[in-house]
Amino acid sequence: MFYDTEDLQDGAIRLQLERTAEGYPEKGWVPAYYFGICLPDGTRIGQCDLRIGHNDRLYIGGNIGYGIDEAYRGHHYAAKACGLLFRQARKHDLGYVIITCDPTNTASSRTCELAGGEYLETADIPEDHDMYERGLRQVMVYRFDLDRGENEDGTN
């Protein structure tokens, strides 16, 4: 079941739902939302997604993915998008979400810190994970507890 997404905006950005995907349990995939990250005037500046659920594959791949187009980087839009995705995750009573990033991606690890994540570990990616097939060998794992209150900017 997917919930309304019209409230996923904060004055600086809004998340525009592009599609949803049902889960595929045989592959360890959970239901997901896919969004464009947009400025208030509708300019698309990146994308993000929210995967609903928890399993071993998501501990490595994360519940949230994001990317900001190069011309719009440096404004903390990814952290703002995460805050809005936390709002959506609460609707699903997730309790917490995991975000992972490549240890060499300092911008993404900084985004996790700005969004209020707790660094858990740098984990090895199992050989049977699709991220391993793409050449990645480790991820930094951050946990975000959603039971805490939400700040005015949508972050924890």
pLDDT in tens, 85-130: 999 999 999 999 999 999 999 999 999 999 999 999 999 999 999 8
Give me 3's structure tokens.
């919930």
pLDDT, tens only, 6-44 = 999 999 999 999 999 999 988 888 999 999 999 999 999
The whole-angstrom separation of Cα 95 and Cα 3 is: 16
Tell me if the domain spanning 14-145 has CATH number 3.40.50.720: no
Residues 45-49 have a mean pLDDT of 98
Determine the pLDDT at residue 150.
52
Domain regions of the chain by residue span:
14-145
pLDDT band at residue 152 under the 50/70/90 scheme: very low
